[in-house]
Structure 1
Amino acid sequence: MTGWRLLLTRPAEDCAALAATLAESQVFSSSLPLLEIQALPVSDSQRAILQKLDCYSAVIVVSKPAAHLGLKLLREYWPQPPSQSWFSVGAGTGQILAAAGLQVFYPAAGDDSEALLELPQLREAIRRPEPRVLIVRGEGGRELLSERLRGLGASVEYLELYRRCLPQHAEDELLRRIQGERLNGLVVSSGQGFCHLRQLAGPAWPQLAAMPLFVPSPRVADMARAAGAEKVVDCRGASAAALLAALREAPGPVL
């Protein structure tokens, strides 16, 4: 596993944390953040959702930025949070919510929408009469989650708190980084991250498409393969543990 030299593309703070964990396992990484979190102004419709938060059978928070921004608003509108169950897609997001004193459930393994939907606590929450679910997220994403919840009889609303932007990079920065640091694997943490990777690659995309690409879910894997990526590895989660497990199981890099 120590032969891997990976490009990390998460937001800067997450890249730093992941790089430190990889280094403990003697995996070299180089960080080029392709996602920048930009908080959205709170709209009147969002205020209305926050004021009726206790009407929801379940609140699902899909990312760490959604958790941090959501908790900030929660403290403004609910000094004593309502007693419904909260859910997160991954353990990292769940731990942020739990540290704030919320009752939160998340999958023990497989931090993706599919694993979340199998949680008994979520199934129980939406068995109530006319269940309503609030998904706290950035702009767009997790459509499978909402579709499946509606299929189970729940009504779904969104509280969108941020957008993901592509940071400013020189046009040749991506390829120059890969060649200059002899990187042999790419890591993306979301569908938006993959779109930004391909956008920044530009004409060099066919060259990058031949490299091993580690993705967090079947949905992103399908996106990548449809775009021409040849060696897609589904980590079944965006956590460092999921990536390390995938690195152990994947064929070794070409040195």
Structure 2
Amino acid sequence: MIGWRLLLTRPTEDCAALAATLAESGVFSSSLPLLDIQPVPVTDAQRATLRELDRFCALIVVSKPAAHLGLDLLRQYWPQPPDQCWFSVGAATGQILADAGLRMFYPQQGDDSEALLELPQLREAIARPEPRVLIVRGEGGRELLSERLRNQGASVEYLELYRRCLPHYPEDALFQRIQVERLNGLVVSSGQGFSHLRQLAGSAWLQLARMPLFVPSPRVADMARAAGAEKVVDCRGASAAALLTALREHPVPVL
């Protein structure tokens, strides 16, 4: 994998953790966070949802920010959380919740919506009359997950706790970073991350679209291809392990 020079675009702390893991495998990376996590005020409707958590047969937490913010609210409304099944898309998010003492389940292979939907414990949780599922997330996202759950007869509600904003950068910051550091691959961890990458690229997107782009799921891969990306690699997960596996399977481009 030596020879890869990647642009990382996750939130600041996640970029630092991923960069350290990549460096251990000899992969150079440069961080340009494109997702700024901003908590949103809790509404009266959300407070009502929090008070009736015990009515949901499954609670799905889709990200680490959702886990941290959700736990803060859980402690306020449920000093002793109800005994029910919690789910996450990936192991990192799941571990945050498991460490808090919640009964957690997440896919052991693959960390995307498709893998979660195949999880036997989730299928069992919603195999009851009029199942209610709560998805804890940021504003928007994971529509495939809710759509599939509704198709299986579940009623799906959301608890949206944050928004993902594009940090302010100079207009040419992205293209300059790629040129100066001779980067040869781009990494995004979500659909919102890709949208921000495309937005910040501006008129340089036509050039960047020729670079290998590593994405976490088929949904984001479809987004990228629809926007003109020519070399999209679906890592089937947003973890460092998934990215490293994809890097091993794809040759370093010749610049």
- Secondary structure of the equivalent of 2:186? strand
Between stretches 244-253 and 104-113, larger displacement belongs to 244-253
1:175-194 correspondence to structure 2 within 5 Å: 175-194=175-194
1:128 deviates by 1.4
Aligned to 2:102: 102
Aligned to 2:172: 172
- Provide the rounded CA distance (Å) in 2 between the counterparts of 1:137 and 1:205: 29
1:70 deviates by 0.1
Aligned to 1:80: 80
Structure 1 counterpart of 2:251, which letter? P
1:30 deviates by 0.1
- Secondary structure of the equivalent of 1:108? coil
User: Quick one: percent identity of the two aligned structures?
Assistant: 84
Q: Give CA deviations for 1:117-176 in whole Å, capped at 9, x if unaligned.
A: 000000000001110000000000000000000011100000000000000111110000
- Secondary structure of the equivalent of 2:60? strand
TM-score by length of 2: 0.99
Aligned to 1:13: 13
Aligned to 1:253: 253
- Provide the rounded CA distance (Å) in 2 between the counterparts of 1:253 and 1:75: 49
Aligned to 1:231: 231
Aligned to 1:118: 118
Say how many residue pairs are matched: 255
Structure 2 counterpart of 1:71, which letter? L
Aligned to 2:151: 151
1:248 deviates by 0.4
Is structure 2 residue 32 aligned with structure 1 residue 26? no
1:253 deviates by 2.4
1:250 deviates by 1.1
1:109 deviates by 1.0
TM-score by length of 1: 0.99
1:252 deviates by 2.2
- Provide the rounded CA distance (Å) in 2 between the counterparts of 1:252 and 1:74: 45
Aligned to 1:205: 205
